Amino acid sequence: MKSIFLVFGIVFCLNASAQLLSPIEDSILVRDGKKLAADIYIPEGEIPRPTILIQTPYNKFWYRFSLPLGYGINIETCPYNFVIVDWRGFYGSASAFSSTASRGEDGYDCVEWIASQSWSDGKIGTWGPSALGKIQFQTAKENPPHLVCCCPLVAGSQFDYEEYYPGGVYRKEYVEQLDALGYGMSGTILANPYYNYLWQYVEAENWYPDEINVPMFMIGGWYDHNVEIMLNLFTGLQNESPSPINAEHKLLMGPWVHGGHGAAYVGSSLQGELSYPAAEGWSDSLALRFFEYYLLNAYNGWPGEPVIRYFQMGEDEWKTCENWPPEGASDINFYLHEGGLLLPELPDETNSSSSFLYNPSDPSPTYGGPTLGEDMLQGPYDQTLIVESRDDIISFTSPAFSEPAVLKGAALVKLFITSDKTDTDFAVRLTDVYPDGRSMLIADGIKRMRFRNGFTAADVSLMSPGTTYEVEIEFYNTAITFPVGHKVRLDISSSNYPRFDKNLNNGGEMYVAGDTLIAENSVFHQIGKESFINLPFVSYALGNSNDLSVARDFRIFPNPSESDFFVESLSNSVKEIEIFTITGENVYTEVFSNNKTFVEVKTTLPAGVYFIGVNGTTCKKLVIY
């Protein structure tokens, strides 16, 4: 978050006509006698106005370049005062540091101080993303009398075990970024890799929807890492917040990343390698309506705004519902099949599996997704070249959809696996495969096998090499429609690094230096061991494609290949072989006068990802290294 203000500042400084806002610099006395540094922005006239309070750990100075909600440097057009306060222990409030102080109580004191000022009309709302959002919940919990409403973005109140150890795996880049921002949490988190009494206490202390007595307008994004935290908390507010306030909370979920660095942020059109112009600016425009209603007493129809408004990606349209997930979705199992197929029917093979090697010294890399680190890409990125072209991953792809396939909710993967090591990870990625071959990341997940039975120390159970185990891996909630011609893909590997720390495969103590072992991991797709992904589809229809019979009938090996490879047919029916680049260019064709059972294909193709066509139908991806 800090770096986005730095970018704004550089842009303004490079502009010769740029102006900096000149706030009133003041300090707010809090209950322990210390003072918090505050910048106060007051439009001309100094008549009493409502105030929007922002509490930040990222330096209030950067707001001098641009106020939020579209006001920029035009404070004179603003109907609100803005008060920007540095958190205790950060920047201008560094001298107020205290290890025992409550941020919620600091927020209470800031709200009530504002209410006592001559330029305040006594109505205070709060706004801010990420950490600036979390502190709004902490402030609201203390129930300051003059707090009217809150607008937290990409944030919830919780500190949950699985926020830091999803699937039992340490979120390396996330916690390291928090350390870089000054929170210093890694020591405590790494000292508690199991779900224990500390986590139980922290979770209980930070779950308090029943203590929220002001309307919340929560804003989140499908590519954010806080999706589950926000959806769970919003449901809690609906069910537990005191009446009638519980009926006034609203939620906006757009096609957005967490933000904080790079070009993408909550409300922008560009997200990763995709663009969503139909969602641009909605976070600001609806937040302004929210504040106008509660702070300015505007009759703007806000009470009639839907409880939940969410963006259906793929359709590029806003939808509404009363509760999440919306009604109408059915859980459809798409099963893994021989040949990399993903089908809504059980496999009929009796001895079928796919294997890969996982080397902790060369882990499958993170490429986009719900990341936070300043050196990481955020949002939807094409996995084809960086991730799927490697030989440490197996992929399963559906036929193309013949009608739009509408998905709303959280997918879940159930795998039957085996490994030759006592511990390893299974990492999954869900992607939208475009007709041009792009494999755009939707969501990801991971599970450490020693935690397959739970996350307490007592739950830990290492594997016996060669034994079959069942493992379930959850994806984040999302809302996406696969257009006609698109496909859904499940990628399976054993790492997603550095988003998740890598498993050394040695079964020893975690997150310490040690010997790394290469694991051979296998996923079954056969009768009695039917691995699948459960997809919450509202509707879907697969095309009548020859891809299914072709992919089942033919085997291509080795894959990845150094150059030459073999095509084998189960029905003695190889008539033609074609090779295409990922952009659709035909780079190889061989036609046979008689049907073949076994063909050796000799090529001089450069390294890359290709698609193989047999008898006029594209049936499999080939990687040449």
Domain-by-domain residue ranges, the chain? Answer: 1-149, 330-543, 549-624
Q: Does 33 score more than 90 pLDDT?
A: yes
Residue range 338-368, pLDDT digits in tens: 989 999 999 999 999 999 999 999 999 999 9
pLDDT at 2: 46
pLDDT at 559: 78
Q: Contact at 8 Å (CB) between 552 and 337? A: yes
Cα-based distances in Å from 289 to 114, 134, 254, 298, 299: 22, 22, 17, 8, 10
pLDDT at 576: 87
pLDDT at 336: 97
Rounded distance between C-alpha atoms, residue 371 and residue 262, angstroms: 12
Q: Bigger pLDDT: 621 or 112?
A: 112
For residues 316-341, give the mean pLDDT. Answer: 96
pLDDT at 101: 95
Residue range 422-435, pLDDT digits in tens: 999 999 999 999 99
Rounded distance between C-alpha atoms, residue 146 and residue 126, angstroms: 11
Q: Contact at 8 Å (CB) between 153 and 230? A: no
Q: Bigger pLDDT: 546 or 194?
A: 194
Q: Bigger pLDDT: 9 or 398?
A: 398
pLDDT at 16: 37
- Residue 291: alpha-carbon gap to chain centroid: 28
State the pTM of this model. Answer: 0.89
pLDDT at 9: 41
Residue range 213-228, pLDDT digits in tens: 999 999 999 999 999 9
For residues 449-477, give the mean pLDDT. Answer: 98
DSSP secondary structure letter of residue 522: E
Phi, psi at residue 62, to the nearest 5°? -65, -20
For residues 144-166, give the mean pLDDT. Answer: 98
Q: Name the least confident of 57-66, 243-252, 554-563.
A: 554-563
Q: Does 451 score more than 60 pLDDT?
A: yes
Q: Bigger pLDDT: 621 or 97?
A: 97
Q: Contact at 8 Å (CB) between 364 and 387? A: yes
Q: Contact at 8 Å (CB) between 256 and 263? A: no
Query: Which band of pLDDT confidence, cut at 50, 70 and 90, is reported for residue 552?
Result: low
Query: Which band of pLDDT confidence, cut at 50, 70 and 90, is reported for residue 155?
Result: very high
Query: Which band of pLDDT confidence, cut at 50, 70 and 90, is reported for residue 617?
Result: low
For residues 183-212, give the mean pLDDT. Answer: 97
- In this structure, whether the domain defined by 1-149 belongs to CATH 3.40.50.1820 is answered with yes
Query: Which band of pLDDT confidence, cut at 50, 70 and 90, is reported for residue 414?
Result: very high
Q: Does 13 score more than 70 pLDDT?
A: no
Rounded distance between C-alpha atoms, residue 280 and residue 27, angstroms: 36
Rounded (5°) CA angle 326-331-335: 150
Q: Does 536 score more than 80 pLDDT?
A: yes
Q: If you average pLDDT over every residue of the chain, what do you get? A: 92
Residue range 119-153, pLDDT digits in tens: 999 999 999 999 999 999 999 999 999 999 999 99
Q: Does 11 score more than 90 pLDDT?
A: no
Total residue length of the chain: 625
Counting Cβ atoms within 10 Å, is residue 13 exposed (0-12), middle (13-18) or buried (19+)? Answer: exposed
- In this structure, whether the domain defined by 330-543 belongs to CATH 3.90.180.10 is answered with no
Q: Contact at 8 Å (CB) between 512 and 426? A: no
- High-pLDDT (> 90) share of the chain, %: 81
Residue range 231-281, pLDDT digits in tens: 999 999 999 999 999 999 999 999 999 999 889 999 999 999 999 999 999
Query: Which band of pLDDT confidence, cut at 50, 70 and 90, is reported for residue 439?
Result: very high
pLDDT at 622: 80
For residues 380-404, give the mean pLDDT. Answer: 95
Q: Is it true that the peptide bond before 558 is cis, omega within 30 degrees of 0?
A: yes
Rounded distance between C-alpha atoms, residue 582 and residue 389, angstroms: 11
Counting Cβ atoms within 10 Å, is residue 91 exposed (0-12), middle (13-18) or buried (19+)? Answer: middle
Query: Which band of pLDDT confidence, cut at 50, 70 and 90, is reported for residue 607?
Result: confident
- High-pLDDT (> 70) share of the chain, %: 94
Tokens standing for residue 65: 């370049």
Query: What CATH fold (topology level) applies to the domain 549-624?
Result: Immunoglobulin-like (2.60.40)
Phi, psi at residue 571, to the nearest 5°? -125, 20
Rounded (5°) CA angle 542-433-167: 100
Q: Name the least confident of 171-180, 250-259, 295-304, 564-573.
A: 564-573
Q: Bigger pLDDT: 559 or 75?
A: 75
Q: Does 562 score more than 50 pLDDT?
A: yes
